Structure 1
Amino acid sequence: MPLNPRSLLLSVAALSTTMLVACGGGNDDDPTPSNETGVLTVTSATVDGLNGIYGNGSLNLTDVDKKNPVGSSPEVCTFRFDGANKVGSDATAFGDIRYQINGTVTYQVFLNFAGKEYASGDAADSSVERDNNQVRFSGKTLTASDGSGSTLKVSGIVPMRPNRPSGC
């Protein structure tokens, strides 16, 4: 028996919703649009084409969450962002920023520029400004996570959502 157009439309909508939920789409772990502007400037990149300004408008942000990992790692506040488009290019940047509870500097930073991840596990050249709802970088050196030894320096601001857990 053939499906009528209305039944077919409802079936497709139900299947789409099921797939979206099953694949993790639309959950709180995905950055969503914000009204917060952020900008990152990359300099001294050892990979051609990465130097430049990323962030030509509002960034997409997740909520800031507290995470208390098992083992010797400290409890951290963590959030992610994306949508930092490179000015004059189709490259983009996104990242994961972590800082300790009540901390004033970053604990771990993972930033991806044009498809290559860079990271830092030290607090140098960073500040967490909870009163201003932002994380600042001042010439922070990041090293490629792929073991290639590639480095870059990043300066700028990544905003945070203001509704954060205590200490974040």
Structure 2
Amino acid sequence: MKSLLKTCVALAATSVLLVACGGGNDDDPTPSNEPGVLTVTGASVDALNGVYGNGTINLTDVDKRNPVGSVPELCSFKFDGLGKVGSAALAFGDIRYRPDATGLHQVFVTFDGKEYGSGEPTDTTVARDSNQIRFSNKVLTASDGSNATLRVNGIIPMRPNRPFGC
């Protein structure tokens, strides 16, 4: 009986620690061993132009959510770890697409501390067969109301273990 009690106490303590430390929560991107690269051109802020992605990228798992209200069911994931070549600037983002869609629903990417986004599926491809999101001259607009824009070309990988439709 004492052994069972000790086991239960150990399991409870482990559960408390996991919750307190965020264990079991996949909100933060982790290394993927997959390359990702984004090339920024035509930026309103010239310093943002360049290649982001000097190695592998960090990714979260793709989640499928069906929120209450007018927002459609979405597949989403986050990425980070895209360092700008020759600079200390970083890029990270949040990608959202509808199950079985061929283009993105929304994308938000922060380049060197400034967030840019789009809610249009044009110039994007959800390539499930190759586990990639592709950008082809995609225009993103600053979310701070400044109307600053930039163009993005490149590939962001997705983890292959996605929910059905994602």
Q: Which moved more, 1:26-35 or 1:141-150?
A: 26-35
Task: Quote the Cα distance in structure 2 between the aligned partners of 1:54 and 1:94.
Answer: 10
Task: Quote the Cα distance in structure 2 between the aligned partners of 1:103 and 1:48.
Answer: 33
- Could you tell me which of 140, 143, 155 is aligned with 1:142? 140
TM-score, length-normalised on structure 2? 0.87
For 1:29, the equivalent position in structure 2 comes to: 27
For 1:162, the equivalent position in structure 2 comes to: 160
For 2:56, the equivalent position in structure 1 comes to: 58
**1:1-168 equivalent positions in 2, closer than 5 A:** 21-22=19-20, 24=22, 27-168=25-166
Quote how far apart the aligned CAs of 1:27 are.
Answer: 2.7
TM-score, length-normalised on structure 1? 0.86
Matched to 2:96, the amino acid is R
Q: Which runs of 5+ in 1 are unaligned?
A: 1-13
For 1:7, the equivalent position in structure 2 comes to: none
1:38-97 Cα offsets, whole Å, 9 max, x none, are 000000000131000000111000000001122111101000000000000000000000
Task: Quote the Cα distance in structure 2 between the aligned partners of 1:67 and 1:80.
Answer: 14
Task: Quote the Cα distance in structure 2 between the aligned partners of 1:32 and 1:127.
Answer: 23
Task: Quote the Cα distance in structure 2 between the aligned partners of 1:140 and 1:25.
Answer: 36
CA RMSD of aligned residues (A): 1.7
Task: Quote the Cα distance in structure 2 between the aligned partners of 1:105 and 1:77.
Answer: 12
Quote how far apart the aligned CAs of 1:125 are.
Answer: 0.3
Task: Quote the Cα distance in structure 1 between the aligned partners of 2:98 and 2:24.
Answer: 27
Structure 2 vs 1, CA of residues 26 and 50 (structure 1 numbering), >3 Å: closer, same or farther? farther
Q: Which moved more, 1:50-59 or 1:23-32?
A: 23-32
Structure 2 vs 1, CA of residues 149 and 133 (structure 1 numbering), >3 Å: closer, same or farther? same
